[in-house]
Amino acid sequence: MNRPVPHDRRIRLVLFDRDGTLVEDVPYNGDPDLVRPVPHAGEALALLRARSIATGVVTNQSGVARGLLSTADVRRVNERVDALLGPFDAWAICPHGPDDGCHCRKPQPGMVLQAAARLGVPPDETAVIGDIGADVEAARRAGALGVLVPTPVTRPEETAAAEHVAPDLLTAVRALLPAGPPQGHVPDDERPPAVLSASDRRPR
């Protein structure tokens, strides 16, 4: 399945879901030693940073509201993610549960808007990459570009509904890159492809 990304859209900020998108999904993880980047995550982020595209993380952490995690647990795991894949320009964390009625928990757009505002980037120059429908819906509600990178937990209906889908994180990022090389040398096989195919994940 090929769903082209509009290359006339300038992207200055890419926000990533954390679990299942940047790092392997460990449900309600409070242990930094269990953090494992997904394949090619470092390479994908390096491509963005080479083009001076800002990066950030927007993550639902309802384990805090459920009493399964402390805010200190979340902070330690985030610090490990940042050590392995950062530094990220912005972090936005929602500690609320699904029934708390907050404006930050994806699919609400609060974290996307917060991160973009913090970095001075308009939502329409922002992309969100995630593995479930809530990630791309948060992007849509914020006025950002959403890209789904499906995993085994992504529901078929979420993949079917996503406007832009890619098979993996590296493909998703390459499809967002501006045409032409970054400052400095980039091998030909790292140029952005013409189309994008991907997925989304389960809300947290």
Question: pLDDT digits over 45-85, tens only?
Answer: 999 999 999 999 999 999 999 999 999 999 999 999 999 99
Question: pLDDT digits over 75-112, tens only?
Answer: 999 999 999 999 999 999 999 999 999 999 999 999 99
- Measured at the CA of 75, the angle between CA 70 and CA 80, to 5 degrees, comes to 130
Written out in words, the top-level CATH class of the domain with range 13-190 is alpha beta
Known catalytic residue at 33: no
Catalytic residue among 17, 73, 89, 131: 17
Known catalytic residue at 99: no
User: Is 0.85 topped by the overall pTM?
Assistant: yes
Scanning the chain, the segments in alpha helix (DSSP H) are 41-50, 71-85, 110-119, 133-142, 156-161, 169-176
